[in-house]
Structure 1
Amino acid sequence: MYLKKHILLSLTLLLLCISNISGQITLPKILGHNMVLQQQKKIPVWGTAAAGEKITVTFAGQRKNTVADQSGNWMIKLNPLKASFQAREMSIQGTNTIVLKNILVGEVWLCSGQSNMEYAMRKYSDYQTKTKGYHPPEDDLNNADNTNIRIFLDRRKYMDPSPEHLGWDNAMGKALVDFSAVGYYFAKDLYAKLHVPIGMISAAVPGSRIEPWIQASKMEIEPKLKNGQILGKLSNDGGDAGKFYDTMIEPLLPYSIKGILWYQGESNCFLGENIRYAYKLKTLIQSWRNDWKDKQLPFYFVQIAPYNYSASKDRPLTVKSLPEFWEAQALNLKLKNTELVTITDLTDTITELHPGYKWEVGRRLSLTATNKTYGMQNVVYSGPRFQKMKLENNSIEISFTHTGSGIASRDEKPLTGFTIAGADKKFVAAKAIQQGDKVMVSAPGVPHPYYVRFNWNEAAQSNFINKEGLPAVPFRTDNPWEKLF
């Protein structure tokens, strides 16, 4: 098997060398027919050719030249363009000429992660039976017909340059079958709000930990907490650092994008990670931003869904392991231009690691982008989030941000999911009373309360929402990492 792979690799390299010697231009897989180019940013166009070969790129009234370097690499950056539904052609000319057809200009997003992001549209044969959150008005898998939404499925074994220049497709028919449902529904909702072409790139691998998505050299760090404590090298956790970065992310660079959507964590949660995962996610965000040379690149991530991790036989996990992981994810809100999407309400059973409702996950990500990236501040994108607490006799008053039109109960019953404790940290179920946009929390057996936790259980699915129907974000007032991260 090794010999076969070695021979195939040698043949591939030989063919590329022959093409370069003969002056044949080659393009990365991401540059092809039907692609969407990012508006209002410089547009890199790059590839390989013979050393010293003159390359000319023509598109949308622009004509730019460059010369391939001694290694045969070249790059041209087109000036920023406005969004356009006009299907135009791009010419790349050297010894040979490549013409890419049917190109639009609009908004381009990369969605990445593990199986819940990879979760394909073809898995929605039973979507009509789902009852929670927003529900699609139609069967998109069979009825999608918007040619202004384009998709590129990043397959790690098929990212080599291709003479056919295929890869991008209209989001419909056979092409849509295997594409990320979260990515598609994000694009559909965003298109309805922006009315510009949308391009989605999906790079996700089922079961993947976060480490393979980070360039191996970037993992060789020892995170230092604010109290001076050293966590130890992140790479010590194994996980094939860089494996998917090298084969799926690097081949996309430096294709111009608007932002990144991330839905991953289950595999790391099974390992009982918390603060170490927070630093890994921070490393991924910062390193990918550096790769795209944009320190402000929007990065929006999904908090993983409720699941009975404590039933795992491989690790000594508890019902608190998942909430601690949620907390670790949320710590990265300290980075600029990051946001999270909470989906504690979007599962029918905690024995399902891949819950449905991916259309609602996509919609919530779109709400986030609409508000945070595109400035539509009237769009509510999050449920209530803990802001501060105040001791009031035998109760604790909790204040929240992201209350939208006001906090509410999904079933109009008393708010659930709250626990309370005194200084001894012996938590008991609490009574939660809504007072405007604040909540008063108390328990008869806790005369001197000191701490409050909300949804601090892997199975917790509280009825606490805002009037826009978005669930409150899990929290604990005794977060040990808040001042250390």
Structure 2
Amino acid sequence: MSVVNRLCLRIDGNPALEWTVRGDMIHHVGVGDLWIIAGQSNAAGYGKGPVNDPPELGIHLLRNSGRWDLASHPFNESTNTLHIENRETANPGHSPFLAFAKLLKRETGYPIGLVQTALGGSPLRAWNPGEDGTLYRNMLNIVRAAGGSARGVVWYQGCSDCYPGDSESYGERFRKMVEQWRTDLGDSELPFATVQLNRYTGSDTTEENDRAWGIVREHQRVAARDIPGVTVVPAIDSPLSDEIHNSPAGNLLIGERMARAVLASVYGKDVHFRAPEIAGARYDEAGEDVGAPVVELTYDHVGGYLLTIGPNQPVFTVEDEAGRPEIAAWSISGRSAIRIALKRPLQGRAFIHAGFERNPAAYYPLDSLTYMPPLSFYRFPIG
């Protein structure tokens, strides 16, 4: 809930408080658990189009003006901003984090305060104190003005690092950023709820840039596996407003997934939030049951069973020392397994990717329990 503190002056011992001399009213003295919103445009919220996502009592937003307000879209609008560092140059739109906060509030009973620090187009180096760190320092100033501590961070970033050079080092730089944020915010276990990147539908794709998107998505998957307190949810199936920004419908989906991750990992709720994740890739040259070489994939964290909808599209890519063997077909081969038939045997060391391109296949396998697609992966070794 929000609290209003009323100040007044009683004169001459008059017991009738309605006649005291009025003073300031301080609104939103208490706004509940604070969650820092950080990252680039899909964290700031650039969704365009109609949506029913109204404000709700008990969910507040620290606006760029330095004032707490009932949370409503757009979140990162810069009217009377105190923070030039994360001032948007375009008008933002719909954010995933009102839906995120609504689900948290409903399931925990706690009011939620959102602290907006994101900026469209921002690269990781702006958030990493070991590099440029401009937005990191701005974030620290905003959080300290709000009381100096937070329950956790909701993070959507990476598109601006999907280039050769930046993509390869993304994972290590992200790890160092998390460690420093935790140190400076005084919480060695500060949770980070993250999103694996959605697609970019621009037509100027190249093999080199496709691989950079795959590398960043892989670092995001591995970060959630290897860094305690970091979770990740997929966004690859979320609809877009334009070639790179999630639509309001996509934001509602992402906000719900992030909330489920937080409810389970931070608030201890019995909620299945993990997307299916690659666990193994086994090669069978004999091709049992299909009469051709096959790669059998197994997945962890499948809550129900894997299923397919829509046409069988080229989700998977195999590479070996002779190039890319053509895939004849892939199919669900068990509750948590996928079989990929190849048109030739593998030669030498081999790897498999899934949904690594900037704009990969639209029809993914799904988990029947959550209807979430598996996390994308890149260069997973085939054994």
TM-score over 0.5 (shorter chain): yes
Q: Distance in 1 between matches of 2:161 and 2:318?
A: 29
**How has the CA–CA distance of structure 1 residues 463 and 179 changed in structure 2, closer, same or farther, with 3 Å as cutoff?**
closer
1:90 CA displacement: 9.7
Post-superposition Cα deviations, 1:289-343, rounded to whole Å, max 9, x if no partner, equal 111111111111112211146716xx98433221122112223221101011211
Identity fraction in percent:
20
Q: Distance in 1 between matches of 2:312 and 2:207?
A: 34
Is 1:149 the counterpart of 2:149? The answer is no
Q: Distance in 2 between matches of 1:176 and 1:208?
A: 14
1:88 CA displacement: 6.0
Q: Distance in 1 between matches of 2:149 and 2:191?
A: 13
Post-superposition Cα deviations, 1:174-203, rounded to whole Å, max 9, x if no partner, equal 989878612211111222222221111111
The answer to whether the 8 Å contact 1:169/1:175 transfers is: no
Amino acid at match of 1:109: W
Q: Distance in 2 between matches of 1:418 and 1:173?
A: 38
Instruction: Give the aligned partner of residue 364 of structure 2.
Output: 463
Q: 2:34 aligns with which of 108, 113, 128?
A: 108
**How has the CA–CA distance of structure 1 residues 360 and 90 changed in structure 2, closer, same or farther, with 3 Å as cutoff?**
farther
Is 1:372 the counterpart of 2:273? The answer is no
Instruction: Give the aligned partner of residue 256 of structure 1.
Output: 149
Q: CA RMSD in A?
A: 3.1
Post-superposition Cα deviations, 1:346-365, rounded to whole Å, max 9, x if no partner, equal 1358x612131212111111
Give the TM-score normalised by structure 1. Answer: 0.62
The answer to whether the 8 Å contact 2:37/2:117 transfers is: yes
**How has the CA–CA distance of structure 1 residues 174 and 284 changed in structure 2, closer, same or farther, with 3 Å as cutoff?**
closer
1:423 CA displacement: 4.8
Q: 2:176 aligns with which of 283, 286, 303?
A: 283
1:104 CA displacement: 3.3
Instruction: Give the aligned partner of residue 199 of structure 1.
Output: 113
Specify which structure has the bigger relative contact order, considering alpha-carbon pairs within 8 angstroms and separated by 6 or more residues.
Answer: 2
The answer to whether the 8 Å contact 2:354/2:377 transfers is: yes
Matches within 5 A, 1:111-260: 111-119=37-45, 124-127=48-51, 139-140=52-53, 143-144=54-55, 146-153=56-63, 155=64, 167-172=67-72, 181-215=95-129, 219=130, 235=131, 241-253=132-144, 255-260=148-153
What secondary structure does 1:250 align onto?
helix
Matches within 5 A, 1:351-370: 352-356=243-247, 357-370=250-263
Higher mean alpha-carbon deviation, 451-460 vs 185-194, is at 451-460
Amino acid at match of 1:126: P
Is 1:473 the counterpart of 2:375? The answer is yes
Is 1:395 the counterpart of 2:294? The answer is yes
Is 1:439 the counterpart of 2:338? The answer is yes
Post-superposition Cα deviations, 1:382-426, rounded to whole Å, max 9, x if no partner, equal 321101122333322211112111111133x54751233455342
What secondary structure does 2:173 align onto?
helix
**How has the CA–CA distance of structure 1 residues 474 and 367 changed in structure 2, closer, same or farther, with 3 Å as cutoff?**
same
Instruction: Give the aligned partner of residue 424 of structure 1.
Output: 322
Is 1:298 the counterpart of 2:191? The answer is yes
Q: Distance in 2 between matches of 1:387 and 1:462?
A: 21
1:436 CA displacement: 2.3
Amino acid at match of 2:329: K
Q: Distance in 2 between matches of 1:173 and 1:437?
A: 39
Instruction: Give the aligned partner of residue 309 of structure 2.
Output: 410
Post-superposition Cα deviations, 1:233-292, rounded to whole Å, max 9, x if no partner, equal xx4xxxxx1222223333423622111011111112145522311122112111111111
Instruction: Give the aligned partner of residue 57 of structure 1.
Output: none
Q: Distance in 2 between matches of 1:282 and 1:151?
A: 28
Instruction: Give the aligned partner of residue 130 of structure 1.
Output: none
Q: Distance in 2 between matches of 1:208 and 1:309?
A: 19
Is 1:327 the counterpart of 2:218? The answer is yes
The answer to whether the 8 Å contact 1:309/1:317 transfers is: no
Instruction: Give the aligned partner of residue 347 of structure 1.
Output: 239
Figure out how many residues of one structure are paired with residues of the other and give that number.
Answer: 337
Give the TM-score normalised by structure 2. Answer: 0.78
Amino acid at match of 2:33: E
What secondary structure does 2:122 align onto?
coil
Q: Distance in 2 between matches of 1:381 and 1:212?
A: 30
Instruction: Give the aligned partner of residue 81 of structure 1.
Output: none
Amino acid at match of 2:374: A
What secondary structure does 1:398 align onto?
strand
The answer to whether the 8 Å contact 1:180/1:202 transfers is: no
What secondary structure does 1:87 align onto?
coil
Q: Distance in 2 between matches of 1:88 and 1:332?
A: 41
**How has the CA–CA distance of structure 1 residues 196 and 456 changed in structure 2, closer, same or farther, with 3 Å as cutoff?**
same
**How has the CA–CA distance of structure 1 residues 386 and 242 changed in structure 2, closer, same or farther, with 3 Å as cutoff?**
same
